[in-house]
A and B are shown apart, each in its own frame.
Chain A
Amino acid sequence: MNVVVCVKQIPDPAGTMKLDQSSHNLVREGKLILDESDSYGVEMGLQLAEQAGGGEVTLVSMAPNSETSGLRTALAMGAARAILVSDPGLAGTDALGTAKVLAAAIKRAEPDLILTATESTDGYTGTIPAQIAELLGMPSVTFSKKVTISGDNVTVERQTEEGYEEVEVPLPAVLSVTAGVVEPRYPSFKGIMAAKGKPVDELKVTDLGIDGSAVGASGARQEVTAVTPAEARKAGEIVTDDGDGFQQIISYLERIKVI
C-alpha cells in the first residue's frame, strides 16, 4: 500500500498575510510551514499504510523556492520520502497549473492511493483534488471523513451538506481528507532526527515534461484587476457583563423585533 500525500508549505497563518503590491501574489518570504490542513492527510496516510501491513508514504509538494521545513515536519511524523517540485517559474501558478505539476510528480511515485486536504489554508480553491484526479484519469472522493481499505477497494464516509454518504471506490484513487478527522501525531525526537536523513527528491518543472507556459502567472490566464479595502462593518456597542449581560441581549433582540 503506497500512499502519496500532497502537502503544501505555506507562510505561517498566525503571521500577517499580505499581497505583493505589483504581482498580487501572496507574499511567501521567510520560513514556510506545513499547512495544518495537510497534517490530517499525512496522519491518515501513515495509519492506512500501517493497517495494510506495509508500504510507504511519499510526500509531494510544489513551491516556488526550495523550501523544505514543512516537508521535514511531515517526514518527522513518519513519511518515508518527499518529492519537491521547486522552480522560480512557479510563482503565480493557479490551481490548474498546480494540479498539472502535482499530477506529474505523483505519477513518478506510482501510488495506490493519493491523499490531499479538502482545501489549503492560503489558497482555498478546493478544486485541486478533483483536477489531479481528472489529470491522472482516476476516481476521486472529496471531503473524506473516514477511510477504510479492504483489498483493492476503499470505503469512504464523505461529508455532505446534510450529513454524510458512504462511497465505495476502487484503487488507485484520489481522496481529499477533511480537517480534524484524525489526530495528527507529534513528531518524536527520534522522528525529527530521522527526518534529516530522509530523501527529498528536488525536481524542476522541465524534469516533469511540463511546458513552462502551463505554469506561473502567464499559465494562470487570469489577472487581478484591483484590491481594495472592504467596507468595514460599523463597530457596535461592547458591554461588560456585570450580571445583566443577558438583559442587554434581550433588549437588543426586542429592538430588532426578533422577540
Chain B
Amino acid sequence: MALNTIWVVVDRSGDKVASVALELLTKARQVAGTVEAITWGDASSIAGQVGAHGATALHTVGDTGGGLAGPPVAAAIAAKISSGTAPDAIFLAQSYNGRDIAGRLSARIDRPVLTNVVNLAEADGGLVSEHAIFGGTEILNARFTADLPGIYVIRAKSFGAEESGGGPAAVDTWEVPELGATGAARVVASHVEETAGPKLAEAAVVVSGGRGLGDAGSYKLIEDLAKLLKGAPGASRAIVDAGWVPYSHQVGQTGKTVKPTVYIACGISGATQHMVGMKSAKNIIAINKDQEAPIFNIADLGVVGDVKKVLPQLIEALQKRG
C-alpha cells in the first residue's frame, strides 16, 4: 500500500450520496491502508453506505445552517491538519461543492491542487495522477513535489464504485472554526429542473442535441427519441447557452460526465470540451450533416445527414416497433 491514510470528501444532496463519492472511496481504499470520509449535514443517514464503500470513519462538520459547503468543510479540514493529523492525500470530486472546498482548502493550508484528474496510480510510494488534455487526445501524468497532503480533484466516472463489505463508518463531528465573512453566503431556496425519466448521469442511453437542431422547438425530437429508448436527453453547451434547455442537460467539461451504453449525438460538432464528457461511452452514434465534423473521429456509427430528416424517421420507425 503506497499510502497510509486518504480523506475523501463525500459530496451529497440531502441524504443522497453523490455517486462520484462512492467512486472516490473505492479508489482510495485500493491505494491506502485507511480511508476516512468527510461530509456536512447529518452523517448517520449515510454512514452505512460510506462504510460499505471502504471508509472506517465519517466525520461531519454538522449542519451548515443554510450556508454553502465550501467554507465550513475547508476550514474544519484545515484545522485538523494544523493540529497535527494530516492524511497523505485528500480526494474531492470535480463538482460544484468539490471545487469550492478544494479551492478554499488549498488556500488555507497553502498546498497546490491537481484538478481534472481521471486516474491515479501508485509510484515510488506516492500517487501519480492522470489528466486527459486536448480533448482526451493526450494523457498527462503529474505528481506533487510539495509536503503532504496532496489535494486531488477528480472527475466523475473515473473509477467504478464497488462495495468493500465494510460495516457502517464510525461517525463523529468535526468542529468548524469561526468563519467570519467567508461563511456569509446563505442558500434561501433550491429549484430542481431535472425532467422525468432516468437521470442523465446514470442513464444507459443518452440522446444529446446540439446547435445543428436549428431551433429550440426541434429539441422535442431529442426528448422523443430519448423516451423511446428509455434514455435521458442531453445537450451541448451551445444550446444551453442559447437558452433552449436548462444547464442540468449539459454534457461535457462544465456539464455532466456520462458513460452510457450508447450515446447518440445529434447536430453536435464534437468540440474537445464536449467530448471529455462523453467519449467513454461504450458506443457512440453521431448524426451530423458535415462529414468533417470532429465527432465522427470517435463515432462507432456516423450518419452524414440532416438531423431534421433522420430523427423523425428514426422516431417513427421505433414507434412502429412499439
Chain B nearest CB, measured from A92 CB (Å): 12
Q: If the complex has contacts A228-B138, A230-B132, A256-B283, are A125 and B116 also in contact, measured as CB distance less than 8 A?
A: yes
Q: If the complex has contacts A134-B108, A137-B181, A162-B248, are A241 and B304 also in contact, measured as CB distance less than 8 A?
A: yes
Chain A nearest CB, measured from B282 CB (Å): 8
The CA of A126 and the CA of B321, in the complex, are separated in Å by 46
The CA of A191 and the CA of B3, in the complex, are separated in Å by 57
The CA of A259 and the CA of B322, in the complex, are separated in Å by 11
Whether B301 lies near A236 (C-beta < 8 A) is yes
Q: Count residues of B near A (Cβ-Cβ below 8 Å).
A: 98
Q: B68 near A: Cβ within 8 Å?
A: yes
Q: If the complex has contacts A126-B94, A170-B184, are A249 and B113 also in contact, measured as CB distance less than 8 A?
A: no
Whether A127 lies near B187 (C-beta < 8 A) is no
Whether B247 lies near A239 (C-beta < 8 A) is no
Identify B145's interface contact among A167, A223, A235, CB under 8 A: A223
Residues of chain A contacted by B115 (CB below 8 angstroms) = 95, 124-127
Residues of chain B contacted by A166 (CB below 8 angstroms) = 187-191
Whether A133 lies near B182 (C-beta < 8 A) is yes
Whether B113 lies near A95 (C-beta < 8 A) is yes
Whether B104 lies near A133 (C-beta < 8 A) is yes
Whether B112 lies near A140 (C-beta < 8 A) is no
Whether B262 lies near A239 (C-beta < 8 A) is no
Whether B303 lies near A239 (C-beta < 8 A) is yes
Q: B313 near A: Cβ within 8 Å?
A: yes
Taking residues whose C-beta sits less than 8 angstroms from the other chain, chain A's interface range is: 35 or more
Residues of chain B contacted by A159 (CB below 8 angstroms) = 96, 247
The CA of A25 and the CA of B279, in the complex, are separated in Å by 25
- Most chain B beta-carbon contacts within 10 A, residue among A164, A246, A248: A246
Whether A223 lies near B182 (C-beta < 8 A) is no
Please tell me which stretch of B37-45, B211-219, B291-299 contacts chain A, meaning at least 4 of its Cβ atoms lie within 8 angstroms of it: B291-299
The CA of A251 and the CA of B317, in the complex, are separated in Å by 12
Chain B nearest CB, measured from A176 CB (Å): 9
Whether B112 lies near A221 (C-beta < 8 A) is yes
Q: B144 near A: Cβ within 8 Å?
A: yes
Residues of chain A contacted by B146 (CB below 8 angstroms) = 221-222
The CA of A131 and the CA of B248, in the complex, are separated in Å by 25
The CA of A101 and the CA of B168, in the complex, are separated in Å by 44
Q: A163 near B: Cβ within 8 Å?
A: yes
Residues of chain A contacted by B190 (CB below 8 angstroms) = 160, 163-166
Whether B261 lies near A256 (C-beta < 8 A) is yes
Chain A nearest CB, measured from B93 CB (Å): 10
Whether B112 lies near A180 (C-beta < 8 A) is no
The CA of A121 and the CA of B86, in the complex, are separated in Å by 33
Q: B285 near A: Cβ within 8 Å?
A: yes
Closest A residue to B240 by beta carbon equals A180
Identify B247's interface contact among A137, A138, A178, CB under 8 A: A178
Report A90-147 residues with CB < 8 Å from chain B CB: 94-96, 99, 118-119, 124-131, 133-135, 137-143, 145
Whether B302 lies near A236 (C-beta < 8 A) is yes
Report B1-42 residues with CB < 8 Å from chain A CB: 13, 18
Whether A249 lies near B104 (C-beta < 8 A) is no
Q: If the complex has contacts A139-B182, A168-B188, A247-B317, are A124 and B302 also in contact, measured as CB distance less than 8 A?
A: no
Identify B300's interface contact among A133, A160, A162, A237, CB under 8 A: A237
Interchain Cβ contacts within 8 Å, total number: 268
Identify A225's interface contact among B128, B242, B299, CB under 8 A: B128
The CA of A225 and the CA of B189, in the complex, are separated in Å by 45
Whether B143 lies near A225 (C-beta < 8 A) is yes
Q: If the complex has contacts A161-B248, A163-B248, are A259 and B321 also in contact, measured as CB distance less than 8 A?
A: yes
Q: If the complex has contacts A134-B103, A220-B112, A221-B146, are A240 and B248 also in contact, measured as CB distance less than 8 A?
A: no
Residues of chain B contacted by A246 (CB below 8 angstroms) = 310-311, 313-314, 317
Chain A nearest CB, measured from B16 CB (Å): 10
Q: If the complex has contacts A127-B103, A166-B188, are A230 and B144 also in contact, measured as CB distance less than 8 A?
A: no
Residues of chain B contacted by A19 (CB below 8 angstroms) = 133, 140
The CA of A254 and the CA of B137, in the complex, are separated in Å by 30
Whether B96 lies near A142 (C-beta < 8 A) is yes
Chain B nearest CB, measured from A51 CB (Å): 21
Q: If the complex has contacts A124-B253, A227-B138, are A134 and B104 also in contact, measured as CB distance less than 8 A?
A: yes
Identify A162's interface contact among B108, B182, B192, B311, CB under 8 A: B192
- A: residues with CB less than 8 A from B are 17, 19, 24, 94-96, 99, 118-119, 124-131, 133-135, 137-143, 145, 155, 158-170, 173, 178-180, 220-230, 232-241, 243, 245-250, 252-253, 256, 258-259
Instruction: Pull 22 A–B residue pairs with CB atoms less than 8 Å apart, ordered by A.
Output: A19-B133, A96-B106, A127-B102, A131-B107, A134-B107, A134-B108, A134-B182, A139-B181, A139-B184, A141-B185, A158-B96, A160-B190, A170-B184, A222-B114, A222-B143, A223-B143, A225-B142, A247-B317, A249-B301, A250-B318, A253-B262, A256-B283
Extra inter-chain contacts (18) besides given A127-B115, A233-B284, CB under 8 Å = A125-B113, A127-B103, A130-B99, A139-B182, A162-B194, A164-B191, A167-B68, A167-B185, A167-B188, A178-B254, A221-B146, A227-B139, A236-B300, A239-B303, A240-B304, A248-B301, A253-B229, A259-B229
Q: Please name the 8 residue pairs, one residue from A and one from B, whose CB atoms are nearest each other, closest first.
A: A130-B103, A241-B305, A180-B241, A221-B146, A163-B193, A236-B300, A134-B107, A127-B103
